[in-house]
Amino acid sequence: MSTWKEFYTQIRDPEWPDCETELEFDHLPQHIQTECIENFGYIPGSFKNKSKLVNKRFPIVSDTACQLKWTWSTIYLTTEKTASCHRTNDHKFDTQTFDFHNTPSKIDDREKMLQGQWPQNGCKYCQDIEKAKGQSDRITNLDFPGIHAPKELDQDINAIHVSPRMLEVYFDNTCNLKCLYCGPHFSSLWDAENVKFGQPAFAKSKDIERNKQKLFDWLKIHRQDLTVFNILGGEPLYQPELEQCLEFFEQYPAPELKLQMFTNLNARLPYLQKIIQRVKRLIDNECIREFEITASLDCWGAPQEYVRYPLDLQQWEKNFEYLVGESWINLIINSTVTPLTIKTLPGLLQKINVWSEKRKIYHYQNSVNNPRHMFIDIFGDIFQEDFASAIELKPTHTPEELASKDYLIGIAKQSQHGGPKPKEVHRLFDFLNTMDHRRNTHWPTVFPWLVDEFKKYKLSK
């Protein structure tokens, strides 16, 4: 939620007195203060740096209208491409004009959505989930807290040339992990491994530095329209661009901006602490209003270290517990749900619930776009007990938590829809054997249940 008033209106008992501003919280009866904190996760003062924009449902109404298509832009500096959702196909944009948000492809998609048609550039993911009666990304983001429609829609509900509210940038592919569902586009370790085993190197744009400067020039002009700026990689904690962004906002403040970093959190703790304290100074000096970290972790134990190789889970936990102690940071854990992670997702959720006893930790999840052999439904309907265990552990105290739980229920439905897929099962088997050969790992030890599952398809190591 963006404002105290929204939060209090959502949770208040009819018997409670009015409380128009967060400053009046201390005047509420003590039992109400206690209930707000203990039952609803409120942290006193936490709305001080929230956006002043009131949350509203996305105003365009059609059978296919998606807030992300109007509000969100992603830029990949390595490939000079853009997208308005992680599910849609990215495409080239004109780096001379640097108008990445109103490309012909995005304009065409918006026009189709106004007419209730599904665009054909990657929207099939949500289309399929909705056919399965699940909660798609599109539906989730129509009314998701903290996402605000472009200012142009206040004057023209059918506007298709608009200003983005949320911008995320993949600066480079420098990364210290090579997750199984990733690849050289987002991981320099993946790229180096591919080259070692005879594959061509990932071809980056030769104009990355020029385009990075164009991005900062764009931000100088448009940063006041943004509510969220996301820094991604690769891995931001291993990229110089992270500190370049902090230096930019020191010089060009954006007091209404939430800065968010997406990280695998597998860095040295002293460097993480250095970055965190620098961001704290940005907030204290009103250069930005809020900071959020989305830490990637899919499950728990040995399966996680195998999937997100070469993750050091002990280091991750040490770093995360440091962040738990920095209560001014909004903390999110995001999990990618695959056949290899769902069985130990409940273990991660148990850890999150323990951390949440100290302060609110949000958890979201998604399923993969590619490769197809990592799709949750390739084995058919075999994970329902695992999903049931995970769903039961999801809290439901806030609208965000309810939306997250509904989304996991949607992935569970997705896992039942359309499988099994023997060709993809065979591809997964071959892929895991290839990874073991490359990385000196041994998947049957980590995933003993998978040995029996592969036998159903006459596959054995």
Q: Which two tokens stand for residue 123?
A: 């929207």
User: Residue 418: its pLDDT value, please?
Assistant: 74
Q: Which two tokens stand for residue 319?
A: 């770093």
CA geometry: angle at 263 spanning 342 and 335, to 5°? 15
- Secondary structure (3-state) at 72: strand
User: Residue 245: its pLDDT value, please?
Assistant: 98
User: Residue 115: its pLDDT value, please?
Assistant: 96
The model's pTM: 0.85
Tens digits of pLDDT across the chain (461 residues) = 568 888 898 899 999 999 988 889 999 999 999 999 988 888 888 787 777 777 789 999 999 999 999 999 999 999 999 999 988 889 999 999 999 999 999 999 999 999 999 998 789 889 988 888 888 889 989 988 778 999 999 999 999 999 999 999 999 999 999 999 999 999 999 999 999 999 999 999 999 999 999 999 999 999 999 999 999 989 999 999 999 999 999 999 999 899 999 999 999 999 999 999 999 999 999 999 999 999 999 999 999 999 999 999 999 999 999 999 999 999 999 999 999 999 999 999 999 999 999 998 999 999 988 899 999 999 999 999 999 999 999 999 888 899 899 999 989 998 988 779 999 999 999 999 999 999 999 999 999 999 999 999 999 87
As a whole number of angstroms, the distance between CA 21 and CA 395 comes to: 27
As a whole number of angstroms, the distance between CA 215 and CA 75 comes to: 9
Torsion, CA 43, CA 49, CA 55, CA 59, rounded to 10:
-160
Helix axes 208-222, 240-251, angle to 10 degrees: 30
Q: Which of 304, 394, 313 is nearest to 343 (CA)?
A: 304
Handedness of CA 75, 78, 79, 80 (dihedral sign): positive
As a whole number of angstroms, the distance between CA 33 and CA 10 comes to: 15
How many whole angstroms from its chain centre is CA 297? 11
Q: Which two tokens stand for residue 297?
A: 């972790």
Residue 286: CB atoms within 10 Å: 11
User: Residue 307: its pLDDT value, please?
Assistant: 98
Residue 218: CB atoms within 10 Å: 16
CA distances from 440 to 69, 123, 179, 298, 437 (A): 42, 38, 15, 22, 6
As a whole number of angstroms, the distance between CA 74 and CA 72 comes to: 7
| Residue type present at position 355 | W
CA distances from 298 to 45, 60, 94, 261, 290 (A): 31, 34, 36, 17, 25
Handedness of CA 204, 206, 211, 212 (dihedral sign): positive
User: Residue 2: its pLDDT value, please?
Assistant: 65
Query: Residue 232's beta-bridge partner residues?
Result: 170
User: Residue 4: its pLDDT value, please?
Assistant: 86
Query: Residue 167's beta-bridge partner residues?
Result: 73, 229
291-311 core/surface letters (b: 16 or more CB in 10 A; e: else):
bbbbbbbbbbeebbbbbbbeb
Do 415 and 381 form a contact (C-beta atoms < 8 A)?
A: yes
User: Residue 55: its pLDDT value, please?
Assistant: 76
- Across the chain, which distance is largest between two alpha carbons, in Å? 70
As a whole number of angstroms, the distance between CA 366 and CA 18 comes to: 38
**Rounded to a whole number, what is the distance in angstroms from the first to the last CA of the chain?**
50
Tally the C-alpha atoms within 13 A of residue 239's C-alpha that lie toward its C-beta.
25
As a whole number of angstroms, the distance between CA 70 and CA 67 comes to: 6
| Residue type present at position 439 | R
Q: Which two tokens stand for residue 189?
A: 């370790």
